[in-house]
Amino acid sequence: MIKSELVTRLALQNPHLYQREVEGVLNAVLDEISDALRDRNRVELRGFGAFSVRLRGPRIGRNPRTGESVPVEEKAAPFFRTGKEMRERINNADDDGMSRAAE
């Protein structure tokens, strides 16, 4: 699912809101998560998961075209860990006895 599909689904579930309002709310939530991660804070959404930042240390990389060694600076990478409730929702069987992964 892409962002525009998510906005459309949320707008259909909330007919009292315009699609542009739903998009604004979604953008605000994503911006706040991004801002918190940029400040190296952890964001936890109970029942869904937790976003955090992991630092990748400096290393010596390799230029794939030339094979030359290249120094790579330290950088931060976002990391997401699913919550227990989300893992259970994904792994539990549906009403028809089949898991969604098997479909």
- The C-alpha atoms of residue 76 and residue 58 are separated, in whole angstroms, by 11
DSSP character for 92? Answer: S
Q: Where are the domains of the chain?
A: 3-93
- Is 3-93 assigned to CATH 2.60.120.380? no
Q: Is pLDDT of 53 > 70?
A: yes
Is 32 in contact with 24 (CB distance < 8 Å)? no
pLDDT-based confidence at residue 93 (cuts at 50, 70, 90): low
Could you tell me the pTM of the whole model?
A: 0.74
